[in-house]
């Protein structure tokens, strides 16, 4: 056993020697490389739709020299983050060995060993991917920093770029936000409180969790005592000092706004006008579509509605259908827990939110609001004698002909598949492509029931063509980009292409109001009837349900909002889970429209309204228990003598 220990020690010593030797070689090489500009490197500033700064990836509004930062803050940071800062060359080898040992004993990566130089190197990057390539880049940048800059300059840069929570990057901004004073005037108690925040701003901000922040403060003060920066008496006085926070909670929680920021950075990667070299050496200002009020409301509605189920995940986007500007986005419940951005990265089965695309195609091919199919259990036979037997939700069928309006209101699956087969399975695929959906859609019988997987931003953009009266727009978050001198280097171009008939989009939008219309209560209920008491404005709305996913997507002329809920591991949803996306959608739309007049579409000249029995689609007759104005292209109004389309299908087959 002793031999193995000796061998292990020798091996470790050799590896350590080699590591130091390689570092010295790299250090010498780094000395010959061009000097990095640390005060503007990777300075990415993002502004919302009112030109208010909401995120800084690196760099700050105010750069403070070490002379203008409280010694308490400096000593607390060194004591907490890197007590050997002044004696190493970027890497604390003893700390690395200790952390490896602790992690090995615990069987997890609970102990970190990053130095201030390494953390500052991370702050100079735009992403925090945990890949070997990323770690190697970090190590090389750390060596470059140590080769070109003094310890004081590195520490100064670190303190001016670190995240202190609530959108405050840099100690001067943080000092003014939390205590309304300059960083040079911080007391020991205030300095220890601020030093504790960067480890996890969402947990250790005193505005988020004061008790946890207070425990973190005391832990930092204890380290300062242990490392000889303060006395026990000074620690006790600081612990007992009552702090007054003047900073208000930011309008948007950084945890969730980071999903928006993440989506912006992903879009930035696609813009050729902005070279990576400019970001790395000069910095940029990005002006986005973000509406902080809408983002805040969306975040709060998600939090409130999903409080009963901590495992459900969510994605949501809000878009201006006239321009394609995405002004609110949620890629999950909490960025500090999961950085996976479901709004831009995931594809999920869309369920019945595919049906409006099908029904637009049907209107384009001669269907009207009154076109009927029989709603009953049906087995479809297609190529190679294969069969398909879709079911209506809850096993509810009319057992009689129903109108297109009723089929939309109830989300009748039989009617949808019959329409799909009647038109030809390629028609839905082609129509989806026309409105901008690029997902791989297969012309199969189940396609209108949403068995295909599509990204939520893509679906929102597709629905924007309906909301924009037939004009397709390109979804985007970035409106304009400038360099740090204020010179414009990119401007979003609003492109819209008319791909749909505006008369038919008006009819479809009217039909999508039936999903919460009590007039349609008959042998079943409209799918979103429970939302009716919440809705004070007119909206087009469709929900979609699969075993693992639930969607709600709807619009008016001003906004398209899409909400998805489900589990990351694709486990089945419970019946009670389906309410969440609908309630999030309704609450968010109502918040957006609060104090605004109802926004809806003017009736086109070539469209007429007819009073009908909405279930059958026939013209209203005296004695009918139900009546509703439905809309038709002029000349296609119902007469009451229209055939049931099942009969036409059978005639064509013969």
Least-confidence region, from 344-358, 424-438, 485-499 = 485-499
Residues 6+ apart with CB under 8 A from 428: 354, 357, 358, 361, 420, 441, 443, 447, 448
Judged against a pLDDT cut of 60, whether residue 454 lies above it is answered with yes
Judged against a pLDDT cut of 80, whether residue 169 lies above it is answered with no
CATH class, 298-653 region: alpha beta
The confidence band for 81, taking pLDDT boundaries of 50, 70 and 90, is: confident
The confidence band for 465, taking pLDDT boundaries of 50, 70 and 90, is: very high
Summarize the confidence of residues 274-292 as an average pLDDT.
Answer: 80
Least-confidence region, from 152-156, 275-279, 395-399, 478-482 = 275-279
Judged against a pLDDT cut of 50, whether residue 111 lies above it is answered with no
Q: Which residue has the higher pLDDT, 169 or 203?
A: 203
Q: Which residue has the higher pLDDT, 143 or 514?
A: 514
The confidence band for 86, taking pLDDT boundaries of 50, 70 and 90, is: confident
Residues 6+ apart with CB under 8 A from 574: none
Is residue 170 a contact partner of residue 61, using CB atoms and an 8 Å limit? Answer: yes
Q: Which of 58, 64, 70, 81 is catalytic?
A: 81
Is residue 617 a contact partner of residue 370, using CB atoms and an 8 Å limit? Answer: yes
Summarize the confidence of residues 472-487 as an average pLDDT.
Answer: 92
CA dist., res. 291 & res. 49, Å (int):
6
pLDDT tens sequence across 616-639: 999 999 889 999 999 999 999 999
Is residue 592 a contact partner of residue 599, using CB atoms and an 8 Å limit? Answer: no
Using DSSP, state whether 18 is helix, strand or coil. helix
Q: Which residue has the higher pLDDT, 645 or 529?
A: 529
Q: What is the pLDDT of residue 386?
A: 84
Q: What is the pLDDT of residue 249?
A: 45
Judged against a pLDDT cut of 60, whether residue 27 lies above it is answered with no
> Any idea where the domains of the chain sit in the sequence?
70-250, 298-653
182, 202, 457: which is closest to 341 by C-alpha?
457
Judged against a pLDDT cut of 60, whether residue 316 lies above it is answered with yes
DSSP string for 383-424: GGGEEE----GGG---SSEEEHHHHHHHT-HHHHHHHHHHH-
Q: What is the pLDDT of residue 445?
A: 94
Least-confidence region, from 136-145, 408-417, 605-614 = 136-145
- pTM for the whole thing? 0.75
Q: What is the pLDDT of residue 251?
A: 46
The confidence band for 651, taking pLDDT boundaries of 50, 70 and 90, is: very low
CA dist., res. 612 & res. 640, Å (int):
10
81 given a catalytic annotation: yes
Beta bridge partners of 382: 386
Q: How many degrees, rounded to 5, is the angle at CA 351 between CA 648 and CA 470?
A: 70
Q: What is the pLDDT of residue 384?
A: 74
Q: Which of 202, 250, 352, 369 is catalytic?
A: 352
Q: What is the average pLDDT value for the chain, to the nearest integer? A: 86
CA dist., res. 298 & res. 591, Å (int):
9
The structure tokens listed for 106 are 């615990």
User: Pairing state of beta strands 44-47 and 284-288?
Assistant: parallel
pLDDT tens sequence across 41-77: 557 888 999 998 887 655 445 678 899 999 999 999 9
Q: Which residue has the higher pLDDT, 581 or 486?
A: 581
Q: What is the pLDDT of residue 91?
A: 61
Q: What is the pLDDT of residue 114?
A: 79
280 given a catalytic annotation: no
Which range of 21-25, 199-203, 546-550 scores highest in mean pLDDT? It is: 546-550
Residues 6+ apart with CB under 8 A from 313: 332, 333, 338, 342, 565, 566, 567, 568
Task: Give the number of other Cβ atoms within 10 Å of residue 109's Cβ.
Answer: 10
Q: Which residue has the higher pLDDT, 500 or 496?
A: 500
Q: Is 235 left (phi over 0), alpha (psi -120 to 50) or beta?
A: alpha
Say what angle helices 232-240 and 188-195 make with each other, to 10 degrees: 80
Summarize the confidence of residues 5-31 as an average pLDDT.
Answer: 60
Query: What share of the chain in percent tops pLDDT 90?
Result: 61
Least-confidence region, from 20-34, 77-91, 447-461, 548-562 = 20-34
CA dist., res. 233 & res. 222, Å (int):
11
Task: Give the number of other Cβ atoms within 10 Å of residue 638's Cβ.
Answer: 21
Best CATH choice for the domain 70-250 from the list 3.30.365.10, 3.40.50.1370, 3.90.800.10, 1.10.3810.10: 1.10.3810.10
Residues 6+ apart with CB under 8 A from 632: 368, 369, 370, 507, 607, 608, 609, 610, 638
Q: Which residue has the higher pLDDT, 139 or 463?
A: 463
The structure tokens listed for 152 are 């004081």
User: Pairing state of beta strands 401-403 and 44-47?
Assistant: unpaired
The confidence band for 484, taking pLDDT boundaries of 50, 70 and 90, is: confident
pLDDT tens sequence across 182-240: 999 999 999 999 999 998 887 899 988 999 999 999 999 999 999 999 999 999 999 99
Residues 390, 395, 401, 407, Cα dihedral to 10°:
-70
Summarize the confidence of residues 465-472 as an average pLDDT.
Answer: 97
The confidence band for 307, taking pLDDT boundaries of 50, 70 and 90, is: confident
């Amino acid at each position: 056993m002793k031999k193995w220990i000796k061998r292990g020690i020798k091996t470790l010593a050799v590896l350590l020697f080699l590591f130091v030797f390689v570092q010295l070689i790299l250090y010498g090489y780094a000395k010959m490389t061009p000097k990095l500009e640390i005060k503007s490197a990777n300075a990415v500033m993002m502004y919302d739709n009112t030109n208010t700064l909401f995120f800084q990836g690196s760099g700050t509004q105010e750069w403070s020299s070490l002379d203008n930062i409280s010694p308490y803050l400096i000593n607390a940071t060194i004591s907490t983050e890197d007590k050997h800062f002044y004696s190493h060359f970027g890497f604390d080898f003893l700390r690395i060995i200790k952390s490896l040992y602790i992690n090995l004993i615990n069987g997890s990566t609970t102990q970190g060993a990053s130095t201030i130089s390494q953390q500052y190197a991370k702050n100079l990057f735009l992403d925090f991917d945990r890949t070997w390539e990323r770690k190697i880049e970090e190590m090389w940048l750390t060596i470059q920093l140590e080769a070109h800059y003094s310890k004081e300059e590195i520490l100064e840069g670190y303190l001016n770029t670190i995240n202190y929570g609530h959108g405050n990057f840099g100690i001067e901004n943080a000092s003014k936000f939390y205590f309304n004073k300059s960083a040079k005037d911080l007391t020991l108690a205030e300095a220890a409180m601020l030093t504790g925040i960067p480890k996890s701003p969402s947990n250790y901000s005193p505005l988020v969790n004061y008790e946890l922040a207070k425990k973190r403060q005391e832990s930092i003060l204890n380290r300062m005592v242990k490392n000889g920066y303060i006395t026990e008496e000074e620690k006790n006085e600081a612990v007992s000092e009552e702090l007054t926070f003047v900073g208000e909670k930011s309008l948007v929680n950084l945890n969730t706004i980071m999903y928006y920021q993440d989506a912006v950075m992903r879009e930035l990667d696609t813009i050729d006008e902005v070279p990576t070299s400019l970001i790395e050496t000069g910095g940029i200002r990005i002006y986005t579509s973000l509406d902080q009020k809408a983002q805040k409301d969306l975040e709060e509605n998600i939090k409130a509605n999903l409080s009963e189920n901590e495992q459900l995940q969510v994605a949501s986007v809000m878009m201006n259908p006239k321009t394609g500007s995405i002004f609110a986005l949620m890629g999950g419940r909490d960025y500090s827990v999961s950085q996976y951005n479901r709004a831009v990265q995931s594809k999920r089965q869309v369920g019945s939110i595919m049906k409006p695309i099908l029904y637009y195609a049907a209107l384009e091919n001669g269907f009207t609001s009154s076109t009927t199919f029989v709603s009953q259990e049906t087995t479809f036979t297609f190529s190679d004698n294969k069969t398909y037997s879709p079911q209506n939700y809850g096993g509810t069928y009319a057992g009689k002909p129903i109108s297109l309006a009723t089929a939309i209101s109830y989300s009748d699956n039989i009617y949808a598949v019959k329409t799909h087969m009647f038109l030809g399975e390629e028609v839905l695929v082609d129509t989806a492509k026309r409105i901008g959906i690029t997902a791989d859609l297969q012309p199969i019988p189940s396609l209108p029931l949403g068995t295909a997987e599509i990204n939520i931003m893509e679906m929102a953009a597709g629905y924007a063509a309906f909301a924009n009266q037939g004009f397709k727009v390109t979804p985007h978050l970035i409106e304009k980009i400038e360099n740090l001198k204020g010179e414009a280097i990119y401007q979003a171009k609003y492109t819209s292409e008319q791909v749909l008939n505006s008369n038919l989009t008006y009819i479809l939008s009217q039909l999508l109001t039936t999903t919460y219309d009590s007039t349609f209560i008959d042998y079943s209920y409209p799918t979103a009837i429970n939302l009716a008491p919440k809705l004070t404005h007119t909206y087009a709305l469709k929900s979609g349900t699969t075993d693992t996913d639930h969607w709600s997507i709807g619009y008016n002329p001003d906004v398209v909002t899409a909400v998805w809920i489900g589990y990351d591991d694709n486990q089945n949803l419970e019946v009670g889970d389906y309410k969440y996306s609908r309630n999030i959608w309704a609450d968010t739309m109502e918040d957006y429209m609060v104090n605004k007049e109802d926004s809806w579409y003017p009736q086109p000249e070539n469209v007429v309204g007819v009073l009908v029995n909405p279930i059958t689609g026939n013209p209203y007759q005296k004695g009918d228990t139900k009546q509703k104005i439905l809309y038709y292209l002029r000349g296609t109004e119902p007469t009451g003598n229209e055939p049931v389309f099942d009969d036409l299908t059978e005639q064509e087959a013969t």
